[in-house]
């Protein structure tokens, strides 16, 4: 916190009676140190409760939509999640080592550790960015914008029509058979662009139950150009998708259900809030790094490093729970 | 800028020094447990209880982080009490709210819930 | 406490310009805007909170003014439409709850008094204290933004699905409440650490003034409950902005979930409001009856008990929202038990007053009024906690009257505390006659306003209604008249306080004869709080002071003159 990061060095003639870095309202450095750590632990407990609401959201959604939850989770790549977990654990280690070196007045080692922690943090955010951009590109997002579209189709889609405004039933029809093989709809597909803008329910009998009509406007997109619809097989994309579960096309399945987007809502809220905390942690570590380079921290006074470390460990703690809960469903 | 106080740098003036070997060991244990988590998720099938197993492993990892990285093992016990109270409050909140949603889950989340929901929306539209 | 002496040695009192205190030691906007002095931060909070109390009260008067005429459904009443009425009561509630009463006593008075009562030089984290004030300002700015953008009409409780679908400026006010939540968290955090770490060695937990026990318990609630408010407001904003579907049944969500989230904070929040007020009560009643507090331990433990129990009852706000029978029963049972610690306090206070030498100064009038007001408020809560009667009373004016009675307990105690510590904070005495008139008029007006509401609520008058059955008109008229009397009373109080700044008599160090440590320093205190370390004593031993007729104030009896107090006095 601001208090912990900015030190309050007051020049005093007698260093023993009133050590520098001791604020005027504290009696001893030990009292100040204890108070700072206690204050940080109180703040960490508020963070725990801050996330608690999202964990309740998670629990309710998972409890009441278990299948949609499991299906939504397949859109996450557990390997990226695992790498991120290991990255954060490593950065926690370097942070704890930073505290160790500060306690031993080993300034260069401290700076080195803080830099490593920062690298870990940026790596984490980088991987997060990759995950998010992939999902956003493929419209695997929350609420009514949930419309999983494989990469190449998404690219076409972005060129063809405004994002999120398309409502067409072609994709629903194409996605119908759970086996994943698309029924050829070349005629319908070629008529797509103009009709795509309107939320026109086609009279096709393969349409899902009429109750799915917008009173709940869940758009179905996917203007499949003739060459890209059924020829997805030829493009080889589906083979890749089918690598995990040969029988199921998760993209298609997800579009059949109305509640898979809830998982994505939970995912983006939890990882988003966590990501904001990582960003705040990055800012904090940079401040500590600047102070460390200036030689402010040593065995007499390393409180900001210690309390900053506590915050960073909390960020790691939250992710330790998020990883299995989101990625390993 | 604070002056560097020159005295033996083996022990800090305040607080306690956790040996770097301990920290390394903890990190290693955490990484192993992460691997275990993934392994369990892939290859161990307990049905509904998989999530509990994952949570138990996660709690173990969290305890290691708290005790060693965050120095709780060596700290005043009051800091640990603060954390534990927060966790208990969290469990109270989630537990009771879940107890409640469970009780009417059958009505709200019926298998044909997407037929159920539009009726509510349409009723709302009728109101002035 | 060596550092106190050290700094006192640096600035011996004799060298100070006469009258140099925390208000005059530094001048200019920046010396206030960037101050780290807890006393200045407290004064800024106090000013802001009093101003917004009047603004919130203005909205209340607008609400009451909309209601003496029943009106015809679908038609406006003069310039006031139903939509405008919705905005009036929403803004009244949101401003009063989030901007005034939750920060209330802890921020406006606790900031000032807490370190002084501990004999300390500041709170544990002065910079976080200032940050807390900045958050409060940010919350206020956002709320005003919402006002400028047309206001909100959801009710201060922001229930879904209306709050996620209405067209009014919900997001700014919700974001403002989010900021105010963080202000509250950091204040609580600061106070908890201060009480733990900055107590003098001689002041054990059971030698603290009871106000500190109250503030400590409040801090616990602020730390544990407010983050949940933060997350629910964030989720509400996200739901409105991007539509995740957590509260929307059409997308698979559950609107009642919002209520669980919201009340998990908002019920403990009412204990954030009342606990400091109860702490102040212990201070006021003892000083103005010259009696040691009766049952110190009971009052101390009951503060913590209220804080803990307060977390276990939030479901009583969801009795008719479709909550399961099991949970209804659990919450109803625990709600009954939460009344017990409060009752323990009230009986201990009454025992304190027994055979006391009552001094009816303005703070005492407020304190005595609290016993009546909170008594009624608390007892009517039991009707609402009973499942069968709540079905009838929920969403009627009975609920409105109940919570106004308990919250008025806080507000009137707040004003009692303001008058009590005013000499210490400002160095001026207020005019006693004006103060008493303000107190009595506002309390009489309050009772008229809300007793009428109990009556019509039990007869079935629903709350938040703009048009109503003409049967209820007499009650509404009475309630509105009471509201104007109350408003006038509060106006008098404000005039009294402002007037004292210009014409008030200079205050002595200890005008009321309190024994807690803040009365051992000058009024107003110097920047560093104490010239010399104050000795720690029993905070309610009134043998330590004697009245000085020349100054119309009290002096601390020097140790060598003090007569030994027989054991078992209290």
* A160, pLDDT greater than 60: no
ipTM of predicted assembly, 2 dp: 0.90
What is the model's pLDDT at position A247? 55
Confidence at residue C360, expressed as pLDDT on a 0 to 100 scale: 96
Min Cα–Cα distance to chain B from C231, Å: 13
Using the predicted structure, report yes or no on whether residue C2 has a pLDDT greater than 60: no
Q: In chain A, whose CA is at the least distance from the CA of B81? A: A41
Share of chain A above pLDDT 90, in %: 44
User: From the CA of C234, how many Å to the nearest CA of chain A?
Assistant: 10
Residue B68, CA distances (Å) to A35, A59, B21, B22 in order: 20, 29, 11, 8
Reference C306, options C256, C369, C374, C258; nearest CA is C374
3-state secondary structure of C159: coil
Distance CA C181, CA C192 (A): 17
Q: For chain C, give every domain's residue range.
A: 2-561
Residue C304 is predicted with a pLDDT of: 96
Pairwise CA distance, residues A123 & A276, whole Å: 15
C244 at the A interface (CB within 8 A)? yes
Would you call A17 an interface residue with chain B, using a CB distance cutoff of 8 Å?
A: no
Cβ atoms of C362 and C435 closer than 8 Å: yes
CATH class name, domain C2-561: mainly alpha
> Closest chain C residue to B97 measured between Cα atoms?
C260
Q: What are C39's two structure tokens?
A: 């006393």
pLDDT band at C257, cuts 50/70/90? Answer: confident
Mean pLDDT of A293-321: 94
**Mean pLDDT over each residue of chain A, to the nearest integer:** 74
User: Residue C561 carries which DSSP code?
Assistant: G
pTM of this structure = 0.85
Residue with token string 């000032």: C112
B51 contact A CB<8A: yes
Residue of B nearest to C223 (CA): B86
pLDDT in tens, C134-161: 999 999 999 999 999 988 999 999 998 8
When comparing pLDDT for A59 and A329, which is higher? Answer: A59
Q: What is the pLDDT of residue A189?
A: 38
Burial (CB count <10 Å: 0-12, 13-18, 19+), residue C144: middle
Q: Say how far residue C338 (Cα) sits from the centre of its chain.
A: 19
Place of tokens 């009279």: A203
Please give the biggest Cα pair distance in chain B.
Answer: 80
State which residue of chain C sits closest to A272, comparing Cα positions: C238
Q: What is the pLDDT of residue A12?
A: 39
Query: pLDDT category, C533, cuts 50, 70, 90?
Result: confident
Comparing A154-158, C23-27, C384-388, which segment has the lowest mean pLDDT? A154-158
- Report the C-alpha gap between B23 and A163 in whole angstroms: 49
Side-chain-side CA neighbours of residue A292 (13 Å): 30
- Token pair for residue C192? 């908890």
**E strand or H helix at C453:** helix C432-458
Cβ-Cβ contacts under 8 Å, A260 against chain C: none
Most trustworthy range by pLDDT among A260-274, C129-143, C153-167? C129-143
pLDDT for residue A276 is more than 90: yes
| pLDDT bucket at A224, cuts 50 / 70 / 90 | very low
Cross-chain Cβ contact B103/C249 below 8 Å: no
Give me the pLDDT at residue A248, please: 63
pLDDT band at A155 (very low <50, low <70, confident <90, very high): low
Q: What pLDDT does C343 receive? A: 94
Q: Distance between CA atoms of A22 and A18, rounded to whole angstroms? A: 7
Which residues numbered 75-134 in A keep a CB inside 8 Å of some CB on B?
Answer: 78, 82, 85-86, 89-90, 92-93, 95-97, 100, 102-106
The chains in contact with chain A, meaning 3 or more Cβ pairs closer than 8 Å, are: B, C
List of chain B residues with pLDDT < 70: 1-9, 106-128
Asked if A227 is an interface residue toward chain B (Cβ–Cβ < 8 A), one would say no
- CA quadruple C456, C459, C462, C466: dihedral sign: negative
Q: Where is C337: in which H helix or E strand?
A: helix C325-353
Chain B 1-40, residues with CB within 8 Å of chain A CB atoms: 1-5, 7, 9-15, 17-18, 20, 23-24, 26-27, 30-31, 34, 37-38
E strands of chain A, at which residues?
Answer: none
CA distance B128 to chain A (A): 18
CB A304 within 8 A of CB A102: no
Using 50, 70 and 90 to split pLDDT, how confident is the model at C266?
Answer: very high
Q: What is the 3-state secondary structure (H, E, C) of C508-524?
A: CCCCCCCCCHHHHCCCC
Of A42-46, B82-86, C319-323, C413-417, the one with minimum mean pLDDT is: C319-323
Residue C295 near residue C252 (C-beta atoms within 8 A):
no
Full set of structural domains in chain A with CATH: 26-139+262-327 (1.20.120.80), 151-256 (no CATH)
Please return the burial class of C260, using the count of CB atoms within 10 Å of its CB with bins 0-12, 13-18 and 19+.
buried
Distance from CA of B80 to the nearest CA of C (A): 15
- Domain range annotation of chain B: 17-75, 77-122
């Amino acid at each position: 916190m601001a208090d912990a990061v900015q030190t309050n060095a007051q020049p005093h003639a007698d260093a023993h009676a009133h050590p520098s870095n001791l604020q005027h309202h504290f009696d001893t450095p030990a009292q100040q140190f204890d108070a700072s750590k206690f204050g940080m632990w109180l703040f960490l407990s508020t963070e725990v409760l801050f996330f608690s609401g999202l964990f309740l959201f998670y629990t309710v959604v998972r409890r009441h939509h278990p299948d949609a939850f499991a299906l939504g989770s397949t859109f996450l790549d557990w390997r990226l999640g695992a790498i991120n977990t290991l990255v954060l654990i490593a950065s926690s280690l370097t942070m704890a080592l930073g505290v160790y070196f500060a306690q031993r007045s080993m300034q260069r080692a401290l700076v080195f550790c803080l830099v490593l922690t920062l690298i870990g943090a940026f790596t984490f955010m980088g991987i997060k960015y990759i995950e998010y951009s992939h999902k956003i590109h493929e419209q695997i997002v929350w609420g009514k914008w949930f419309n999983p579209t494989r990469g190449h189709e998404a690219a076409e889609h972005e060129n063809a029509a405004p994002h999120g405004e398309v409502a067409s039933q072609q994709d629903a029809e194409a996605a119908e058979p759970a086996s994943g093989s698309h029924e050829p709809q070349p005629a319908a597909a070629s008529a797509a662009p103009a009709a795509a803008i309107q939320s026109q329910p086609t009279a096709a009998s393969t349409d899902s139950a009429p109750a799915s009509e917008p009173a709940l406007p869940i758009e179905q997109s996917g203007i499949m150009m003739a060459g890209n619809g059924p020829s997805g097989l030829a493009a080889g994309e589906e083979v890749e998708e089918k690598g995990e579960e040969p029988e199921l096309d998760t993209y298609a399945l997800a579009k059949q259900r109305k509640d898979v987007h809830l998982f994505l809502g939970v995912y983006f809220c939890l990882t988003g809030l966590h990501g904001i905390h990582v960003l705040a942690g990055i800012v904090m570590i940079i401040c500590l790094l600047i102070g460390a380079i200036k030689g402010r921290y040593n065995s007499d006074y390393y409180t900001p490093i210690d309390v900053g470390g506590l915050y960073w460990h909390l960020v790691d703690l939250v992710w330790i729970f998020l990883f299995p809960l989101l990625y390993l469903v | 800028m604070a002056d560097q106080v020159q005295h033996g740098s083996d022990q800090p003036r305040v607080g306690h020094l956790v040996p770097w070997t301990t920290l390394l060991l903890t990190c290693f244990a955490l990484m192993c447990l992460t691997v275990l988590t993934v392994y369990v998720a892939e290859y161990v099938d307990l049905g509904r209880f998989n999530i509990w197993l994952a949570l138990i492993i996660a709690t173990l990892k969290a305890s290691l982080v708290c005790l060693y990285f965050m120095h709780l093992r060596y700290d005043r016990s009051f800091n640990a009490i603060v954390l534990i109270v927060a966790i208990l409050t969290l469990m109270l909140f989630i537990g009771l709210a879940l107890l409640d949603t469970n009780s009417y889950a059958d009505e709200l989340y019926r298998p044909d819930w997407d037929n159920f929901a539009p009726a509510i929306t349409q009723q709302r539209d009728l109101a002035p | 406490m060596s550092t106190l002496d050290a700094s006192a040695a640096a600035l011996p009192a004799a060298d100070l310009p006469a009258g140099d205190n925390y208000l005059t030691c530094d001048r200019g906007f920046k010396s206030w805007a960037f101050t780290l002095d807890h006393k200045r931060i407290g004064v800024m909070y106090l000013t802001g909170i009093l101003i917004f109390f009047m603004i919130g009260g203005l909205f209340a008067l607008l609400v009451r003014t909309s209601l003496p005429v029943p009106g015809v459904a679908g038609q406006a009443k003069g310039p006031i439409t139903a939509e405008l009425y919705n905005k009036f009561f929403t803004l009244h509630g949101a401003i009063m709850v989030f901007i005034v009463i939750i920060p209330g006593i802890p921020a406006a008075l606790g900031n000032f008094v807490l370190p002084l009562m501990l004999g300390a030089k500041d709170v544990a984290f002065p910079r976080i204290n200032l940050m807390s004030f900045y958050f409060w300002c940010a919350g206020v700015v956002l709320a005003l933004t919402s006002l400028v953008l047309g206001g909100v009409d959801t009710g201060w409780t922001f229930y879904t699905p209306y709050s996620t679908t209405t067209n009014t400026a919900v997001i700014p006010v919700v974001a403002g409440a989010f900021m105010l939540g963080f202000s509250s968290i950091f204040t609580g955090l600061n106070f908890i650490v201060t009480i733990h770490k900055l107590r003098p060695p001689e002041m054990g937990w059971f030698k603290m003034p009871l106000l500190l026990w109250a503030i400590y318990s409040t801090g616990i609630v602020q730390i544990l409950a407010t983050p949940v408010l933060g997350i629910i407001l964030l989720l509400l904003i996200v739901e409105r902005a991007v539509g995740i579907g957590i509260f929307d049944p059409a997308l698979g969500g559950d609107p009642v979930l919002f209520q669980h989230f919201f009340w998990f904070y908002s019920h403990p929040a009412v204990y954030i409001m009342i606990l400091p007020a109860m702490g102040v009560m212990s201070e006021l009643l003892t000083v103005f009856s010259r009696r040691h507090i009766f049952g110190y331990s009971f009052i101390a433990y009951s503060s913590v008990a209220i804080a803990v129990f307060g977390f276990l009852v939030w479901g009583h706000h969801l009795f008719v929202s479709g909550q399961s029978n099991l949970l209804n029963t659990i919450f109803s049972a625990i709600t009954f038990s939460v009344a017990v610690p409060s009752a323990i306090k009230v009986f201990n206070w009454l025992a304190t007053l027994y055979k006391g030498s009552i001094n009816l100064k303005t703070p005492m009038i407020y304190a005595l009024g609290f016993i009546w007001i909170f008594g009624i408020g608390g007892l009517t809560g039991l009707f609402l906690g009973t499942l069968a009667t709540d079905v009838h009373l929920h969403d009627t004016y009975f609920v409105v009257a109940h919570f106004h009675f308990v919250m008025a307990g806080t507000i009137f105690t707040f004003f009692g505390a303001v008058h009590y510590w005013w000499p210490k904070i400002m160095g001026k005495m207020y005019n006693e006659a004006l103060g008493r008139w303000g107190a009595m008029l506002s309390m009489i007006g309050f009772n008229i306003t809300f007793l009428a509401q109990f009556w019509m609520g039990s007869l079935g008058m629903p709350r938040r209604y703009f048009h109503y059955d003409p049967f209820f008109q007499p009650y509404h008229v009475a309630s509105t008249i009471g509201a104007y009397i109350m408003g006038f009373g509060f106006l008098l109080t404000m005039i009294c306080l402002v007037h004292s700044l210009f014409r008030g008599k200079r205050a002595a160090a200890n005008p009321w004869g309190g024994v807690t440590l803040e009365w051992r320093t000058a009024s107003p205190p110097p920047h560093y709080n104490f010239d010399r370390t104050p000795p720690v004593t029993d905070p309610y031993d009134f043998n330590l002071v004697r009245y000085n007729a020349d100054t119309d104030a009290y002096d601390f009896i020097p140790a060598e003159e003090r007569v030994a107090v027989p054991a078992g006095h209290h």
